[in-house]
Structure 1
Amino acid sequence: MSFIEIEFTGQQKTFRAELLDQTAPKTCEALRSMLAEPVVGASYHSIYSGQEFYVYCPPVDLPLENHVVWPKPGQIVYYYFPENMYAGMHVHKDRIQGDGAEIALWYGHGDLRVVSETGIRGNLFAEIVPEQLDDFYAAGDHVLAHGREDIIIRLAD
């Protein structure tokens, strides 16, 4: 098993997530390469899909694998936005230039039917370890209630 860590810098909390190598091998391989240097960015709370926040990351065009429509608490999904399609959506157009991507972190339940119907697909590639789910929910809810904070996503030792 291999893991990543998600650190909430404002709350000074760190969570571990297991990479799902069996069901999303290409995505996990790409994220390991991407996270050779930690991804650091502001958290943005979801507008459409539920109890989720995301952090922008380097874009890598990956094939669809382990797609999810009803994300559960603790699931982590990678989304890629081609420049002339979804990176132009109003929520992204002022934040990213060219192709874009995000790591979406679900602290509660989600509903991606509308997003999926538009053609946006995400790869479920990691899950928060079960013993940290309650604290992860509280940390995500804190982001919703108090606003953005920097998140660091890195490979775990």
Structure 2
Amino acid sequence: MIKVRVIAGPYTFGAVLEDEKAPKTCEAILKAMPFESQVVHVRWSGEGVWVPLGDRDFGVGYENHTSYPAPGQMILYPGGISETEILLAYGGVHFASKMGQLAGNHFLTLTDGLENLHDLGVKTLWQGAQPLRIERV
């Protein structure tokens, strides 16, 4: 497993890429590192934050995809019926958009700093967009 760091808002999380389960997605994310954007709170999916990426094409299809990421799991929706996006679950999530249920590739799992994950979600919900950076350690 490849170790990475996720910095979201004022919080830093240790994480691993799920390169055995989602090798193409992890390769695309590694090529994009350091990945910088902002997370906003989800609208339809429950307790999660997401990065809307419009028509960005990571060049991957479905692998290791789920509609129900667990807290601390990050997924990439590669686009199709809705825009490309990355989602990080901080609680219960049923991944969806205005088009209906979606599934994304589980490519990253937080391993350290999990005690701050819920606080990130609540901060994003009540205070708005938070900076995001994913980098290789």
Partner of 1:62: 60
Report the 3-state secondary structure (helix = DSSP H, G, I; strand = E; otherwise coil) of the residue aligned with 2:113: helix
Tell me the TM-score normalised to structure 1 length: 0.75
Which runs of structure 1 show a deviation greater than 6 angstroms over 4 or more consecutive aligned residues? none
Report which of the two has the higher share of helix.
1
Partner of 2:135: 154
Counterparts of 1:91-110 in structure 2, within 5 Å, are 101-110=84-93
RMSD: 2.1
Counterparts of 1:27-42 in structure 2, within 5 Å, are 27-35=25-33, 38-42=34-38
Tell me the TM-score normalised to structure 2 length: 0.84
Partner of 1:97: none
Partner Cα distance (1:23, 1:63) in 2: 13
Partner of 1:71: 69
1:112-146 CA-partner distances (Å, limit 9, x unpaired):
3x55x8474310011100x4222122222211122
Q: 1:56 to 1:86 in 2, by over 3 A?
A: closer
Partner of 1:94: none
Partner Cα distance (2:4, 2:46) in 1: 23
Report which of the two has the higher share of strand.
2
Q: Is the contact between residue 52 and residue 107 of structure 1 (CA under 8 Å) also seen in structure 2?
A: yes
Q: What fraction of aligned residue pairs are identical, expressed as a percent?
A: 29
Partner of 2:17: 19
Q: Is the contact between residue 71 and residue 106 of structure 1 (CA under 8 Å) also seen in structure 2?
A: yes
Partner Cα distance (1:104, 1:119) in 2: 14
Partner of 1:142: 123
1:8-40 CA-partner distances (Å, limit 9, x unpaired):
24x2x21121111121111111111121xx222
Partner of 1:2: 2
Report the 3-state secondary structure (helix = DSSP H, G, I; strand = E; otherwise coil) of the residue aligned with 2:66: coil
1:44 aligns with 2:26: no
- Any stretches of 5+ residues in structure 1 without a counterpart? 88-100
- Any stretches of 5+ residues in structure 2 without a counterpart? none
Q: Is the contact between residue 75 and residue 105 of structure 1 (CA under 8 Å) also seen in structure 2?
A: yes
2:110 to 101, 115, 128: 128
State which structure, 1 or 2, has the greater radius of gyration over its C-alpha atoms: 1
Partner Cα distance (1:45, 1:119) in 2: 17
Report the 3-state secondary structure (helix = DSSP H, G, I; strand = E; otherwise coil) of the residue aligned with 1:81: coil
Instruction: Report the CA distance between 1:79 and its aligned residue.
Output: 1.2
